Structure 1
Amino acid sequence: MIDIRTFMLVLGIGNIGFALLMAGYARGAASHPAMRIWAGARLVQGAAHLVGWLQPELAWSALVATGNALLMIGTALELAAYCVFLALPRWAVALLPFTALALLALYGAQALRLDAVQGMVLMSMALGLFSLAMAWLLLRPGAHGSVLQRLIGVNNLVFAVAMAVRAWHGLGHTHASLLSAAGAHHATFIAGYILMIVNGFGFLLLCKEKDDARMVQLATIDSLTGLINRHAFFDRTDSARMLARRQCSPIALMMIDIDHFKRINDCFGHATGDEALVLFAATAGTALRDHDIMGRLGGEEFALVLPATDLEGAILAAERLRMTVAAAPLPTSAGAYAMTISVGVVVIDAHEHINAALARADHALYAAKTGGRNRVSVGVGQLKVVCG
């Protein structure tokens, strides 16, 4: 026979332990904001289980309602943590009224002096709905979550089913009680224990997973334009170059510079200069293929790699890009400004180092700028692509 009171003590201590663990993690790292809400939820749930563990010893009827209210509030906070983690808009509009209604029903049942079985059914239904909402948020088709997120969602779904079984058992067995040895109650506390372990560590890892992804993004993405930065561009270009070599496929490279960028900054201010960079990145994105690699190397200087593209195709792509940018006016304090670009184009040799190819493309870019700007120039020293 499973000692349900011992389960309640374990759940209480375990949840408080998780709360302290998560609070320590949130304090010592740039953690996700949802982590603090989750830690608060675990602390409240732990307190609720400890109150339930103490109730038979103290025999205070008020402890039952207090423990149930704490458990409901803690579960609502847990649902709030998921909403914040998933960046759901206006989640409080639905959660706060439902939580208030559930608490009102709980205290209304106490005022009406409903028996323990009816109170247990009410709590099971409320907690089951909360858990079902968590499962839906994590498993819904548009969530596109990780395997870890879906595992936590399944865990919440299992707990919701256990709560439904517990409520059904209470409705069908009028002499059931919270501390009875009925199988439904055993299943409930076992599911609660599994929920605590899986979701406790799972949510911590889920937040760390998102924090790590954010750090990777900060390390590889230019914050202003949204393009990859210089370091990431070199890494991806080298991988694309090696793939082109294995497939005996051509690969082209462009160096791109916004014409008279200093004049834009001097005449309209640096804020407009930033807007010019953002406009160029967004406009260029409409003229590129999904597998093209574009990065900001610094200032107004950009580079673009076109896999599976020969010189003729690269020249056509460069001209298309140049005309697309010229057709996208830049708003300034003095009206629309016709922004133009200069482009240097080369084809990377199969055995050529990326720095050498960039140097040739940079020479071609210089020729385009000295030749009058707003034009495309082909690099000299073009090498024949040799496979193998």
Structure 2
Amino acid sequence: MNNASVEKFFDKVLTGRLTPDRQALDIIDQTLLPGTVKRINLSTKEEIWEAIKKLRVRGAPAIGVSAAYGMAVLSSRSQAADFDSFYSEFKANKEYLASSRPTAVNLFWALNRMEKTLLDNRTKSIPEIQEILYHEADKIQAEDVQISRNIGEIGFGLLKDLKKEGRPVGIETHCNAGTLATAKYGTATAPMYIALEHGWKGTDMHVYCDETRPLLQGARLTSFEVASAGITTTVQCDNMASSLMRAGLIDIIFVGCDRVARNGDFANKIGTSGLAIIAKHYGIPFYVCAPSSTIDMETPSGSQIPIEMRDPDEVTEMWYQERMAPENVNVYNPAFDVTDHSLITGMITEKGLCTAPFEDAFRKIGL
């Protein structure tokens, strides 16, 4: 796949950008993939909130970019005559969007950054501030692209060390931490796309996508985008990971994350912890692709990370013509689990590869 083909692929799947008139947020509705590729425009705070809550846009970096653009769009509509009124409207919109997802730290990071930008420019006119907020959201998006690219280059260095004649590098990933979840390259998929930019063929890699129950982000999203990029792709049920590793098909594992604690514990899509435990048993290197904005130095360990509990219907009814569990049973449906830092080979940030002890490593990269 040449660079022109790679860019064409990215243009097809990019999410979290503005419409040309800057009056709405333009996203791919990820709940419809892979069967339908549909872009939708979000122009009201209710539409943006619903899209984040219902996972029409998902992935920590993409949520952050979308929230920033959402705040710029909403602020551009303000008819406030003075700063205090404008700021009051901004705060109300910020608090409303913040209530959509409690775990993804990028959401709060982006909203707080937009608020700081507003406050830093409080002496300017309202129209000037509105324009500055658009520029800040553009900066957040551009920075996310560069962050993902840096993560990808570091991850590609790890892939190069595993390349052997006559067989592809076996890569396993969980959920979707790809282009659909960021402003461009993804985090966990970035090494694969950077490999293509460096001249690797799609057949030089074989990506195994955990289906990722109950929302099937791996089966629906990661396999869609990786296969669309021309990379050899296989989907397997989450409980088949041990079988894959025992068969010697997996050389390395890349996963994304939604929040990292100071000690290196991290929250990611439910099922990640089990995958890490299995990888440790088989001696498979396990890397977390984590933009530094997801590292929360105020949270000592994974025990303090809030875990979102989701609708029971996602387990019992969402993908079935008829309900697949009795009506009178309870359902346990956490969106994330916490993986202990002792199970991690390394954490790839845009500032470098961090290894244990993670708190020291995070301090060294300026956190």
TM over 0.5: no
Higher strand share: 2
The TM-score with structure 1 as length reference comes to: 0.27
Task: Give the number of the structure whose alpha-carbon radius of gyration is greater.
Answer: 1
The TM-score with structure 2 as length reference comes to: 0.28
